[in-house]
Structure 1
Amino acid sequence: MLTRTFSVVPALMLAACAAVSPLSANADDGDSFAQGDSSHGRHVKVMIISMFAPEGQVWLDHLGPWEKITVAGLSPDYPTISCNKQDICVMTTGMGHANAATSTMALTFSPRFDLRHTYFMVAGIAGIDPQQGTLGSAAWAKWLVDFGIQWELDGREIPPGWTTGYLGINTTSPTQKPPLDYRTEVFQLNTKLADAAFALSRNVTLEDNAQAQAARAKFSYAPANQSPKVIQCDTLAGDTWWSGTDLGQRARDWTKILTDGKGVYCTTQQEDNATYEALKRAASVNRVDLNRVAVLRSGSDFDRPYDGQTSADNLLNYAAQGGFSIAVDNLYRAGNPLVQDIVTHWSEWRDGVPRR
């Protein structure tokens, strides 16, 4: 189940626009903070990729002042990149596969930035599997799996013996691994970077609230009914929002199929395979380094109902779970240790993830 709390977006989008320092309001040339070889654009140590305003705003609130840099081709809702004096930048792509891919491509092929040594951190909220995490949990992924690239039969007409109407494209059963003809069905991230990010953040105290605690208590098992923690497990992308026990089981199974049993599904969102493919295209011409991509997703709602709840109620009333605000806050709490370690110890990180 994917989640965005649209009722809060307009106000937060206005706040995001107002949060930038006045000194940066007209800094369209992107040069006032930049150092190094200007022929390659502004050097960036960490690029934080958010998908909609609240996800980006949590970084803008903590790490300013900011300089705004206009980049051609970004979403008209988020036409600028915000950068600070630590060479940390924040972009917002817009939601869904199409926005994520096109905005990321616009960034990576813009002459305004030198991203050859940049670490990218995708940081966004997501639905979460109650067997792997809970509301507010922050999960570092090692695998990105696309849930949308499948064949689908009407669930009321599935063949006898099948447990789902989903199967891989050009396969003959739900358990068969597809030939991966799209080349974007599954990606493996740099495990060394994922492990470093987890090690830096695993002991962070995450934000929580009473509403989320009450929602957790309706589950009879852990970790759904426990406090949020920083965890490691994998993420599933698809533009269709969903909720349900059977769909959730398909998400688990599909992740296992595409990763040859190595991945563990825990979060569901819309964008990450599209974002990664755009970075991959840029890496093919040496504009970015794919070994420097990390993905952090925090649980804002459960992807399936608790015992006695309907899937419809879980989906339609997801905001009542109380996970949205803590999930956004925990992107910063869990992600910032990695961000600060990179920029503070740049001599160790410049040539790749350090051995420690």
Structure 2
Amino acid sequence: MMTRTLSAAAALSLVACAAVSTVPANAEDASSFAQGAGEGQGRHVKVMIVSMFGPEGQVWLDRLGPWQDIKVAGLSPDYPAVHCNKQDVCVMTTGMGHANAAASIMALAFSPRFDLRHTYFMVAGIAGIDPAQGTLGSAAWAKYLVDFGIQWEIDGREIPSGWNTGYLGINTKSPSDKPPLDYRTEVFQLNTKLTDAAFALSRSVTLSDNAQAQAARAKYGYAPANQPPTVIQCDTLAGDTWWSGTLLGERARDWTKILTDGKGVYCTTQQEDNATYEALTRAAAVGRVDLNRVAVLRSGSDFDRPYAGQSSADNLLNYAAQGGFSIAIENLYRAGNPLVQDIATHWAEWREGVPSR
């Protein structure tokens, strides 16, 4: 299951970028910034924080400003500007789902307004979470990005005898077969050195929590679901269909294992990350970005399957009652900012690649 927002936060998603303190994008009027954003100047960026909807971006905009707004042709009309600060840290919001993520990242990556050749990209968004791997508010750094949507599906009421699911890889013969990966976007492996560095910098931070999430966790009779949130390492699954259920969750675990040859561990479910990475891959092919500088952080805002005695429908329809939304948003900042600040303040160590420490 994937969740985005409560009704009040939904309204924020359309206006969040307009609500921040900014300075003009014109270089002459923004002399306090190290580099202007005028057309053709190619503003240098140390860290590009990629959010998917308003509240995910707002948690950064509220804390790391003041900001210089740089409009980029081709971005979402809801989020038409990239926001950059004096540290050369920028925040962009793609819009939700595969199509918005791919289109916005392509627009950014091929814009002449930025020099992204040495930029570190940190995708930071909320997600559904597997209660066997994390809990509400947990912040997970991924090493693998797996697409859950590129599968064949047979109606669950007509599953062949002997199958445990109606899903199977495209051009395979059974649910356990690994597909030929003809789409070339089914699975991506991130730079392990960067993911490990991000985890090391953040693993000891104190994460946000609240009483509502604690009560929701207590309904699960096992750890780590019923434990306080922590920073973890496990992998993320993308697909535009929101889902909830124990059997679908089992398929998510199995599918991750199949596509990563047993190396990946599924823990979060979201919509955009394979699309975002593929867009960056296209840009990397012509030297505009470096794929070794991409990190993905997803925080658990709701459980992807019900607790014992709860229906999958109740888990999905009443996801907001779990109380994970606000702490998941906050924990994106708490878990992600140590990496952002280390890169920005120790740029000499990071400029040529992830430092060995």
TM-score band w.r.t. shorter chain: over 0.9
Structure 1 CA distance for aligned equivalents of residues 163 and 28 of structure 2: 58
CA contact (8 A) 1:86 1:343 kept: yes
The amino acid that maps onto 2:152 is: W
What SS class does the counterpart of residue 183 from structure 2 fall into? Answer: coil
- What is the CA–CA distance in structure 2 between the aligned matches of 1:172 and 1:144, rounded to whole Å? 24
Q: Deviations over 1:119-174 (max 9, x none)?
A: 00000000000000000000000000000000000000010010000000000000
Q: Write out aligned runs for 1:16-55 (5 A).
A: 16-21=17-22, 23-24=23-24, 27=26, 32=31, 33-35=33-35, 41-55=42-56
d(CA) in 1 for partners of 2:338 and 2:65? 16
Q: Which runs of 5+ in 1 are unaligned?
A: none
| TM superposition score normalised by structure 2 | 0.96
**2:185 is matched with which residue?**
184
SS at match of 2:215: helix
* Alpha-carbon contact 1:36-1:43 (below 8 Å) kept: no
Contact 1:304/1:314 (8 A) holds in 2: yes
Judging changes above 3 Å, is the alpha-carbon distance between structure 1 residues 31 and 107 closer, same or farther for their aligned structure 2 residues? Answer: farther
Residue identity in the other structure for 1:44? V
Give the TM-score normalised by structure 1.
Answer: 0.97
Structure 1: distance between partners of 2:29 and 2:46: 15
Alpha-carbon contact 1:34-1:43 (below 8 Å) kept: no
Structure 1 residue runs of 4+, over 6 Å off?
28-31
Q: Is the 8 A contact 1:20 1:68 kept in 2?
A: no
What secondary structure is seen at the aligned counterpart in 2 of 1:62? coil
Partner Cα distance (2:342, 2:246) in 1: 39
State yes or no: 1:76 paired with 2:77: yes
Aligned pairs for 1:133-282 (under 5 A) are 133-282=134-283
Task: For residue 91 of structure 1, give the secondary structure of its aligned residue in structure 2.
Answer: strand
| Higher mean C-alpha displacement, 35-44 vs 325-334 | 35-44
Q: Please give the alpha-carbon distance, in whole angstroms, between the structure 2 residues aligned to 1:6 and 1:224.
A: 22
**Aligned-partner Cα distance in 2 for 1:267–1:289:** 25
Q: Tell me, yes or no, if the aligned pair for 1:30 and 1:42 is still in contact at 8 Å.
A: no
1:281 Cα deviation (Å)? 0.2
Return the alpha-carbon distance in structure 1 between the equivalents of residues 13 and 27 of structure 2. 23
Structure 2 stretches of 5 or more lacking a match?
Answer: none
Tell me if the contact between 2:55 and 2:329 (Cα under 8 Å) persists in the aligned partners: yes
Shift in CA distance, 320/30, structure 1 to aligned 2, threshold 3 Å: farther
Q: Measure, in 2, the Cα distance between the counterparts of 1:18 and 1:197.
A: 29
| Equivalent residue letter for 1:194 | T
User: In the alignment, is the contact (CA less than 8 A) between 1:31 and 1:42 conserved in 2?
Assistant: no
One-letter code aligned to 1:339: V
Cα gap change, 1:199 to 1:106, in 2 (>3 Å): same
CA contact (8 A) 2:27 2:35 kept: no
Aligned to 1:349: 350
Cross-structure match for 1:9:
10
Task: Return the alpha-carbon distance in structure 2 between the equivalents of residues 17 and 340 of structure 1.
Answer: 25
Deviations 1:169-209 (A, max 9, x none): 00000000000000000000000000000000000000000
Change beyond 3 A, Cα 1:78–1:180: same
Q: CA separation of 1:247/1:30 partners in 2, compared to 1, >3 Å: closer, same or farther?
A: farther
Q: What is the number of equivalent residue pairs in this alignment?
A: 354
Partner of 1:304: 305
Quick one: which amino acid aligns to residue 210 of structure 1? A
Conservation of the 8 A alpha-carbon contact between 2:142 and 2:235: yes
Aligned residues of 2:127 and 2:298 also touching (Cα < 8 A): yes
Residues in 2 aligned to 1:313 and 1:148: alpha-carbon distance in whole angstroms: 23
Q: Report the counterpart of residue 105 of structure 1 in structure 2.
A: 106
- Separation in 2, partners of 1:104, 1:141: 19
Paired residue type of 2:347: W
CA spacing shift, 1:14–1:336, aligned 2, 3 Å:
same
Compared with structure 1, are the counterparts of its residues 107 and 145 closer, same or farther at alpha carbon in structure 2 (3 Å cutoff)? same
Structure 1 residues 24-43: Cα deviation after superposition (integer angstroms, max 9, x where no partner): 3x648997424399855000
Structure 1 306/282 Cα, relative in aligned 2: closer, same or farther at 3 Å? Answer: same
Distance in 1 (CA, whole Å) between partners of 2:37 and 2:249 is: 49
Instruction: Note closer, same or farther for the CA distance 1:29–1:326 as it changes in structure 2 (3 Å cut).
Output: farther
